[in-house]
Structure 1
Amino acid sequence: MSTKHLAAWAVTFAVLLVIDMAWLGFFAKGMYQQAMGELMSPQPRLAFAALFYLLYPVGLLIFAVVPGVEAQSLTRATVLGGLFGLFCYGTYDLTNLAVIRNWPLGLTFIDIGWGALVSGVAAAAGAVTLRWFVSR
């Protein structure tokens, strides 16, 4: 991985982490606790969360950031990032809806929408960073 790609990954990672932590820790915390009830672990398993936050931006780089920058389009990077989030979060939530008893339907739609939004924003930030390195 080149320096420019590592920088784009780092910005994508940081934006994703900060926005997602604000969402999960403050804005939607009560909603998730109420909707999931006993399904929600009292303490998150931080090692698994860390693995997600380290790997997910790699997917955003491969499927959104780099293609967007190659097309010289921040809009393309943002849309592809949003679609990546829609498919990834959709896979998670719809699978849970299919196999976990009492998985909340409303939470499924909110979470998929959130995944699309946060992924699009993080991909856009990564694309701006990568484009800056490419244009130097």
Structure 2
Amino acid sequence: MIYLIAYVATAIVFLGLDFIWLSQIAIGFYKSRIGALLMDEPNLGVSAIFYLFYVAGLVYLAVVPALNSGSWTTALVAGAVFGLVAYGTYDITNLATLKGWSVSVSVVDMIWGMCLSSVAATSGYFIASSLVRGV
């Protein structure tokens, strides 16, 4: 049960923050640098698949180890590493393969992925541990 709670909590935080980032904060930044590559509307079905898999990986590799060790710093650090590697793979591949991809987008996106994953994993840890243990 704790793993399901961890998944749902992590997903809510991750999705909420990423929605704010993509729709309010960074949309102008992305449009000004890679606007020609962006779709008019995102494919929500494909986005849902990404979020389902990504959050599962984040929970498995960052939140669960933190819950098992009882250390929120495990979620913080493992979440940051997972985010940097995952977003870095995407962004560096785009730099290597797409003509109009921006270095600044890659740098900002990798930092965002690292921070977002770290915050979501740490939040998932705190929420799951407090709900299950009644803290």
What TM-score bracket applies, with the shorter chain setting the length? Answer: over 0.9
Give the equivalent residue in structure 1 for 2:120.
122
Percent identity of the aligned residues? Answer: 40
Correspondence for 2:72 among 68, 71, 74: 74
Q: Which residue of 2 aligns with 1:27?
A: 25
Deviation at 1:76, TM superposition (A): 1.2
Give the letter for the 2:87 counterpart.
Answer: Y
Which of 50, 53, 56 aligns to 2:51? It is 53
Structure 2 equivalent of residue 111 of structure 1: 109
Corresponding residue pairs, total:
134
2:94 paired residue among 82, 93, 96: 96
Structure 1 gaps of 5+ residues are: none
Query: SS at the partner of 1:78?
Result: helix
Q: Give the deviation of 1:124 after TM superposition.
A: 0.5
- The structural deviation recorded for 1:133 is 4.6
Q: Which residue of 1 aligns with 2:9?
A: 11
Report deviation, 1:134. 4.8
Counterpart of 2:60? 62
Letter in structure 2 aligned against 1:131 = S
TM value normalised by structure 1: 0.94
Q: CA deviation at 1:69?
A: 1.6
The answer as to whether partners of 2:37 and 2:100 remain within 8 angstroms in 1 is no
Q: CA RMSD in A?
A: 1.1
1:71, distance to aligned residue in structure 2 (A): 1.6
Shift >4 Å, 4+ stretches: none
Q: Distance in 1 between matches of 2:4 and 2:54?
A: 14
